[in-house]
Structure 1
């Protein structure tokens, strides 16, 4: 019986094995030369970026935003005015979207006494308790980025309250800082960047319960601050047009979808940059100088 001829062009199981061998060799070479890229890819897959970002955005939208509205009813008039200015400046609202924000603010202002009576101190505390869901979601993002186990509830509860209250206070300051306290964007953008670096640096350290040294948290803080500063500038260009189009096409419901979509995009960026910062801080080439600085300070 004649021996079957090999497949034309050398095709068959032998060629498939050669391709697999070459692919495996290429993967090993990439891991050797670029450990940061391979580690970042694996870490992002383990974090499940889209799922974590969507959960964080949902918690912020459903719990943090209502808490801001309730808290505004208990603050002085100057604070409420500043909160309105900050919300308008952060998103660069103009036209119909700005009018809707003012209508919401006007309804809240006219019903301030009614809001206080309806909610009361207990209602405000319940809103604050619900808003800690955002703190917990952000804490999970930080823990997954650093591959750390959850902290005990006894250690974490007061941190959840402190974090959300601090972020509301920072939101009030966004307006004047973004305008450079009257000097303009040339000063406002650097100020926002510096403030964001400090805020995200503190956020990681605080929500992780101090389990990661300050210095190792700096790359993630810088990456996140840079991305958020860029998004804040982009928001002033994109959001007014998108919101006004949604309002004209779908009414108030359209603006809700637009804001939620933008919030999800922001949370995706936060998740990616915090994870990338954790990888950069623990992988060559940045890990070596960071460890040297740490050891020098310890000595």
Structure 2
């Protein structure tokens, strides 16, 4: 099925629903246009194939303390332990000289550039959520690299964020919500090239910040058992299957937040507070 043109919506919601429950009708109309599952699956695939290898290449070349931060972030965010966590450590346990000899400087650069596929997919999702045309590559290219760099830093230090730098889980939850909101407030503003003002992006950022953190809390409970069962059934590949499923769920949360944030920002009262610009006429 071809993708909808920029600025065009599917009219998938019955007229009576738009008339009697206009907000629900607009939400369903938006979700039908954005195609949340398609976007989330594409983002998860790009993150799994491009962004995560970049994380492990960087970690393999990084000092021991930075490798420790990555392990702490994975353990805190996903709740991994025992064999699954040992598998993560083994992915970058080679010495610096071994990694450099096997990949080389060119290989590292290619890996990092390949990781921008995730940035490009996320930009397309943001454009679809806000019904904007595709930005020109020469304008957006540096933004892909900038988002990837900030995302990698945020991921590496997620363990410290989740505990609010050692002050406790309760403070860590609040700190993680704030930091996640700021990250997902900045992300669409960057990837959309400033075509949407800051304030209208805030509802989606808040939804993403809370949604991301609730997913993290749930993952800490569910993921250890899921990974353990999957590794018993499929061996070392089991953790790969579970991680890919988790990435799909993560990007479903993010895509839903961005899509619903658009609708909230265009509701009459929030639109007044947020000074949301009127959409151009759609075909």
Aligned to 1:182: 166
From 32, 37, 52, give the equivalent of 1:45: 32
In the alignment, structure 1 segments of 5+ residues that lack a partner are 1-25, 295-299
Q: Does residue 247 of structure 1 match 2:231?
A: yes
The alignment partner of 1:180 has SS state of coil
Are 2:273 and 1:289 equivalent residues in the alignment? Answer: yes
**Structure 1 ranges of 4+ moved more than 6 A:** none
Could you list the per-position Cα deviations for residues 185-244 of structure 1 after superposition, in whole angstroms to 9, with x for gaps in the alignment? Answer: 011000000000100000010000000000000000000111001001001000001001
Which whole-Å CA distance do the structure 1 matches of 2:98 and 2:142 have between them?
A: 30
Alignment match, 1:221: 205
**DSSP 3-state at the match of 1:150:** coil
CA distance in structure 2 between the partners assigned to 1:81 and 1:96 by the alignment? 17
TM-score normalised by L of structure 1: 0.84
Give the unaligned 5+ runs of structure 2.
Answer: 1-12, 278-283
Q: Give the aligned partner of residue 84 of structure 2.
A: 97
1:268 to 252, 257, 265: 252
CA distance in 1, matches of 2:275, 2:113: 39
CA contact (8 A) 1:95 1:244 kept: no
Pick from 135, 138, 155 the counterpart of residue 119 of structure 2.
135
1:163-202 alignment to 2 at 5 Å? 163-202=147-186
Note if contact 1:57-1:264 (Cα within 8 Å) is conserved in structure 2. Answer: yes
CA-to-aligned-CA distance 1:32-77 (integer Å, 9 cap, x gap): 4533221121111111111111111000000001111111233222
What is the alpha-carbon distance in structure 2 between the residues aligned to residue 127 and residue 169 of structure 1? Answer: 17
Q: Which moved more, 1:193-202 or 1:88-97?
A: 88-97
239-248 vs 87-96, which deviates more? Answer: 87-96
Distance in structure 2 (CA, Å) of the matches to 1:149 and 1:28: 27
| Structure richer in helix, relative to its length | 1
Partner of residue 100, structure 2 = 116
Paired residue secondary structure (2:257): helix
Taking the aligned partners of 1:125 and 1:96, their CA distance within structure 2 comes to: 31
C-alpha distance in 1 between matches for 2:220 and 2:98: 34
- Stretch deviating more after TM superposition (244-253 or 72-81): 72-81
| Cα gap change, 1:37 to 1:246, in 2 (>3 Å) | same
Mapped to 2, the partners of 1:121 and 1:63 lie a distance apart of 17
How far apart, in 1, do the equivalents of 2:275 and 2:88 lie?
Answer: 48
Indicate if the aligned counterparts of 1:35 and 1:283 stay in contact, CA closer than 8 A: no
CA contact (8 A) 1:35 1:284 kept: no
Compute the TM-score of the two structures, normalised by the length of structure 2: 0.89
SS in 1 for 2:275: helix
